[in-house]
A and B are shown apart, each in its own frame.
Chain A
């Protein structure tokens, strides 16, 4: 027992003495949470995004539609679109092909006539090569067409065009949003990107702590000090426990620092279910360190441990939505097979104040995976710390 105590003390001292430990395990996660939280929060809010106006080419083939098409050139539209006129379709398409414009719109012949008579009337859209710009252009133009459509519909249904237009201009503009956004806890509080990434980065860096454990084992093998320790009447299991407990404690400390820092400085609210929070931290640490032992069992070189762990961590974090919350359905499903997914989900739901059952469900899966990893590491443990 005392031997294990000595070994744990040895581990902790080693971690504290290594300067890079601080940078990698404390500074980095806080930095990345900051980057991610601020970087990605603004994207989807079109209003807040700063984009250069998209170069749009316009062909109006119906004289009666000139006014309507002119709506594209208003001041408000100018924020999103920079419109250039073309005399015919072909030149528009050529310009699009050459990259002179990024999007093309053609108002075809008889457009106004068709709209007024109540038959289908459409504008032709020619998307460019940049998916993102296409999205914005379509969104803006679509909005405009929808308005036109509305006015037409009102005019037709009520038989009173002026009323329609007057109403359209006045009523809904000034009111602000009609949609209240809330998180699943229905608290009315929206959930910020910073909080999302705090949870994700916490998990990713607990994985790095695991890597530190693996490196510690491998390092002792490489520098031959492991033999020294065995010569001093120490059993392999004691060495293993010492490494795991020592690094586990350090990882736990790291989790606490990150949680405290983000909650006081960044304002992330981790909730008040401390038992669950503790459990989530513990299970993540156990899983991470177990993974380290497994990797250390397969290689004796520090370089290899690093390479494997970094690749594993990056891929798992990515699949869990750790870098971008929107990664497509298939990848998301793949993510549910990863350890980091269940860990980060546990933390996220604690932040969201979700129902106990939801949190516990995630903790259970996390616990199962951690237990599985622990079991495997127990089987391979001897090999990991073997000295020959």
Chain B
């Protein structure tokens, strides 16, 4: 049985549909990446799964229990790492974990053990008695994570956990996610950074305007666009005629032009590369650089929505 099941979930803010009849399942043991641009409804969806927001319509079940009917039971199985760093200035790291651990129902010996484990996991054992005021941004994020896993939840939700931190900390976090998964937790990971989602997810859902527009393993999704490759050519002296001719080529699906940079979307780039070069040479267009980009989720998103992920 799936760990999380959403059925036709709707959430409105005023007249705006933030989540639009979303249906989704998340299987046990997977790392599910939820990808989408800002404002797509990722955070809203997450909050509804956690019971922090009520859905207007639809059903959400976690581990077989309805979120609406058994919110407390559901919450105790989930650990959420929120997007904002929500920490108390006046509590030490240990005190944070003790406080939240207690709220999750842990006591005594068990509480102490879980605290030590959580600290060790995020690498903050040496700072257990320090306050967040003295932490770097990366360390704060790590404490943020520790607070969410102290009760060893079945489902861990991470909402944009790597926003605004240095590459080293980010790698550490991604590694932690994999490790947690190896230890048995199911993970929902939301982001608008495609590279991260691609790197660690087993399955990915792409969300836009509150709707799920693509769902599947990375392999499955990329198959939808594997035919699509992109040539990025930096040119000098590009003419309109040259661009027109390229567009007319049978393999070319789309051409985007930004000043002298030509982005050509075509099938089987390798086969038709020479044709492209030939056309350009014919029009006496000089080539400064040439790049062949393999399709990725960004490409998929662009294909599905006509927009960039980062917009």
A–B contact at 8 Å CB threshold (below): yes
A231 with B88: CB separation less than 8 A: no
If A6-B102, A17-B90, A387-B52 touch, whether A228 touches B72 (CB-CB below 8 Å) is no
A227 with B75: CB separation less than 8 A: no
A235 to B52, CA, bound (A): 11
Chain A residues within an 8 Å CB radius of B84:
224
Is A14 in contact with chain B by the CB < 8 A criterion? yes
Of residues 76 to 111 in B, which have CB atoms within 8 Å of A's CB atoms? 76, 78-80, 82, 84-88, 90-91, 95, 99-100, 102-105
If A14-B90, A233-B72 touch, whether A6 touches B52 (CB-CB below 8 Å) is no
A342 to B88, CA, bound (A): 38
CB distance from A16 to the nearest CB of B (A): 9
Is B31 in contact with chain A by the CB < 8 A criterion? no
Is B50 in contact with chain A by the CB < 8 A criterion? yes
Which residue of A has the minimal Cβ distance to B90? A17
Chain B residues within an 8 Å CB radius of A230:
51-52, 75
Chain A residues within an 8 Å CB radius of B71:
233
A232 to B99, CA, bound (A): 10
Of residues 323 to 368 in A, which have CB atoms within 8 Å of B's CB atoms? none
A388 to B80, CA, bound (A): 17
A34 to B12, CA, bound (A): 58
Is A189 in contact with chain B by the CB < 8 A criterion? no
CB distance from A18 to the nearest CB of B (A): 7
B90 with A233: CB separation less than 8 A: no
CB distance from A112 to the nearest CB of B (A): 81
How many A-B pairs have beta carbons closer than 8 Å: the answer is 62
B103 with A224: CB separation less than 8 A: no
Is A303 in contact with chain B by the CB < 8 A criterion? no
Which residue of A has the minimal Cβ distance to B107? A2
A231 with B87: CB separation less than 8 A: no
Is A264 in contact with chain B by the CB < 8 A criterion? no
A231 to B103, CA, bound (A): 10
B103 with A388: CB separation less than 8 A: no
Mask of A8-37 contacts with B, CB within 8 angstroms, 1/0: 001001100110000000000000000000
A231 with B99: CB separation less than 8 A: no
Which residue of A has the minimal Cβ distance to B157? A231
A2 to B99, CA, bound (A): 12
B103 with A234: CB separation less than 8 A: yes
A161 to B72, CA, bound (A): 99
B52 with A231: CB separation less than 8 A: yes
If A224-B82, A225-B88, A227-B86 touch, whether A3 touches B53 (CB-CB below 8 Å) is no
A10 with B99: CB separation less than 8 A: yes
Is A229 in contact with chain B by the CB < 8 A criterion? yes
Chain B residues within an 8 Å CB radius of A232:
75-76, 100, 103-104
A235 to B71, CA, bound (A): 9
CB distance from A158 to the nearest CB of B (A): 83
Is A223 in contact with chain B by the CB < 8 A criterion? yes
Chain B residues within an 8 Å CB radius of A234:
103
Is B206 in contact with chain A by the CB < 8 A criterion? no
Chain B residues within an 8 Å CB radius of A3:
102-103
CB distance from B186 to the nearest CB of A (A): 16
CB distance from B118 to the nearest CB of A (A): 14
Of residues 221 to 274 in A, which have CB atoms within 8 Å of B's CB atoms? 223-225, 227-235
Q: With A228-B100, A231-B52, A231-B82 given, can you name 16 additional A-B contacts, CB distance below 8 Å?
A: A3-B103, A6-B99, A6-B102, A6-B103, A14-B90, A225-B88, A227-B52, A231-B51, A231-B79, A232-B76, A232-B104, A233-B72, A233-B75, A233-B76, A233-B105, A387-B52
* 14 A-B contact pairs sorted by A residue (CB < 8 Å): A3-B102, A3-B103, A6-B103, A13-B90, A14-B90, A223-B88, A224-B86, A227-B82, A228-B100, A228-B147, A230-B51, A232-B75, A233-B71, A387-B52
> Which A-B residue pairs are the 4 nearest by beta carbons?
A233-B75, A232-B103, A224-B86, A17-B90
